[in-house]
């Protein structure tokens, strides 16, 4: 039985449906869709649409999407890659000709084709039950009538005020009084409401080959982007085979590259034969962080769009490679880490399940807070900055090239037991995503924590997303205690202690399928604005 630990939140239990999302209005929308007879996919989509309104810095029609879905009708797990590609004129040479030494993190040149919209419709075409007008209803209402802002969203708007003011129409929407709002103030987004109504009526072609897309492209061109109508028209989501690795008797599944999901599997493979539960907290963290560094070095060298044919990342799942990697770890001394500069991680993750056994793990993002910062006036669409996932370095497998997908931080998780769904899991947090997933899984499987305890347990992150902490810092939530921090410092880690609950650690959502009790158990992260609902 899982270990009993004091917790402060309460998981939700239900047999007919469950949803966990990082904002309460999104969870409420998804639960109502389930009650109206919608599928778990319908619920996930409705929740995603509401999140585009209430967490506008995180997600929306201008972003990308990945999902894993357990389909009881098919008796198998399917994965969807709905990330967008670089345009036909987006080359490393053309960017260098503009005087750029590396990929820009913000602005129009960081924008690739947004893939989420086609992902939404692809998922619905396979598993949707309700009409699109019903699925967008709550998002349209919340956007048009407005909603009350939480401190989380207020902080994101405030820190992005300069970006919003210089890249289009964002300041008019999010700084309507010429200043950042405060918690409890109402935010309205009528243009986004109209965009959702347009998508519901006209389908994905509205963005990829219709007037909405023309409006987006015309504004991008005025901003200096080379993305073209043909680039939008060529986009389509792609069904892919999940990658799998068995850990402690559980089959952990991730979307393959260009997603970084393989990083989590790489770390888990390096834990084979290592008894985490037999070590104290500081020693566990040390060994996990050292494996994280090795896996991220693999990622930065090997993970890219497999369609480019430039690299094979499969060695990251090879047990012999894992053993070779682990041999370099020093038990009492931290090693330096190499790798790319950590990106910000403004993303939404949610999961849903229904009475028929359909389980959805979905992640959708603008990448950084407000993405590229390019907010297209009249549409409510903020465009992502996924182009920052490319490099301009010659010979690198992730080098910018036409029609190519960038290295992606998004990684919705699913785990199976005995060939059946056991856990849907994921989080926001860019480079923190595999680290949070690692801590959730090892908490459940190695430390035998109950679901809510694993969710609430104090976390750490190395190379935290964003700019709050130094790149090499190992950031600990204060609940881990001073003795743990002191021991890790003695091993050579650059330790910084943050709040007891810090959103930099991600906002994870979990749904566990408990076959013994015949129910779903859903848990939301106290580091976000969410609730978990089940019935």
Phi and psi torsions of 221, nearest 5°: -65, -40
Burial tier of 439 (Cβ tally within 10 Å: 0-12, 13-18, 19+): buried
The rounded distance, in Å, linking the Cα atoms of 145 and 284 is: 49
> Mind telling me the catalytic residues?
347
Question: Does an H or E element contain 53, and which?
Answer: helix 40-54
Which pair of structure tokens corresponds to residue 206? Answer: 């509205």
Contact 459, 507 (CB under 8 A): no
Q: How far apart are CA 88 and CA 232, in angstroms?
A: 10
3-state helix/strand/coil string of 21-37: ECEHHHHHHHHHHHHCC
CB proximity list for 382: less than 8 A, separation 6 or greater:
56, 57, 60, 62, 170, 366, 370, 371, 372, 373, 374, 375, 376
- What is the chain's percent helix, strand, coil content, to nearest 5? 40, 20, 40
Compute φ and ψ for 382, nearest 5 degrees. Answer: -100, 130
- Alpha-carbon distance of 25 to 529, in angstroms, equals 9
**CA–CA gap between residue 33 and residue 43 (Å, rounded):** 5
d(CA 434, CA 439): 9
């Amino acid at each position: 039985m899982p270990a009993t630990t004091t917790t402060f939140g309460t998981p939700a239990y239900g047999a007919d449906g469950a949803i966990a999302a990082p904002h309460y209005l999104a969870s409420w929308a998804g639960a109502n869709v389930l009650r109206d007879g919608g599928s778990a996919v319908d619920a996930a989509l409705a929740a995603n649409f509401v999140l585009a309104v209430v967490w506008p810095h995180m997600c929306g029609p201008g972003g990308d999407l990945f999902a894993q879905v357990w389909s009881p009708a098919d008796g198998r797990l399917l994965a969807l890659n709905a990330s967008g590609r670089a345009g036909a004129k987006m080359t490393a040479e053309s960017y260098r000709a503009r005087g750029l030494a590396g990929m820009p993190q913000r602005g129009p040149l960081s924008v690739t084709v947004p893939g989420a919209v086609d992902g939404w419709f692809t998922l619905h075409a396979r598993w949707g039950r309700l009409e699109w007008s019903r699925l967008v209803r709550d998002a349209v209402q919340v956007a048009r009538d407005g909603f009350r802002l939480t401190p989380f969203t207020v902080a994101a708007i405030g820190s992005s005020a300069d970006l919003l003011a210089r890249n289009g129409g964002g300041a008019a929407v999010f700084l309507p009084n010429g200043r950042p709002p405060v918690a409890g103030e109402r935010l309205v987004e009528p243009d986004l409401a109209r965009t959702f109504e347009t998508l519901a009526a006209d389908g994905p072609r509205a963005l990829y080959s219709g007037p909405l897309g023309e409006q987006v492209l015309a504004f991008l061109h005025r901003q200096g982007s080379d993305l073209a109508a043909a680039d939008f028209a060529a986009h389509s989501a792609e069904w892919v085979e999940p990658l799998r690795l068995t850990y402690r008797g559980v089959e952990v599944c991730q979307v393959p590259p260009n997603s970084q999901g393989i990083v989590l599997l790489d770390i888990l493979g390096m834990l084979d034969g290592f008894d985490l539960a037999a070590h104290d907290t500081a020693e566990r963290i040390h060994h996990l962080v050292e494996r994280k560094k090795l896996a991220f070095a693999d990622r930065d060298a090997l993970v890219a769009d497999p369609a480019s044919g430039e690299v094979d990342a499969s060695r990251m799942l090879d047990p012999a490679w894992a053993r070779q990697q682990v041999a370099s770890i020093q038990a009492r001394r931290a090693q330096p880490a190499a790798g790319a500069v950590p990106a910000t991680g403004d993303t939404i993750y949610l999961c849903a399940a229904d009475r028929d056994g359909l389980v959805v793990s979905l992640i959708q993002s603008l990448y950084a807070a407000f993405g590229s910062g390019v907010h297209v006036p009249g549409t409510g669409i903020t465009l992502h900055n996924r182009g920052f996932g490319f490099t301009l370095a010659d010979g690198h497998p992730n080098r910018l090239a036409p029609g190519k997908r960038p290295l992606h931080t998004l990684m919705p998780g699913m785990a199976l037991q005995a060939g059946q769904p056991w856990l849907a899991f994921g989080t926001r947090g860019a480079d923190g995503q595999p680290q949070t997933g690692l801590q959730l899984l090892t908490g459940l499987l190695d430390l035998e924590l109950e679901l809510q305890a694993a969710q609430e347990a104090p976390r750490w992150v190395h190379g935290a997303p964003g700019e709050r902490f130094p790149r090499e810092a190992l950031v600990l939530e204060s609940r881990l205690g001073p003795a743990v921090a002191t021991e890790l410092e003695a091993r050579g880690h650059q330790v910084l202690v943050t709040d007891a609950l810090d959103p930099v650690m991600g906002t994870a959502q979990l749904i566990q399928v408990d076959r013994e009790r015949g129910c779903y158990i859903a848990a939301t992260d106290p580091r976000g604005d969410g609730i978990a609902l089940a019935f």
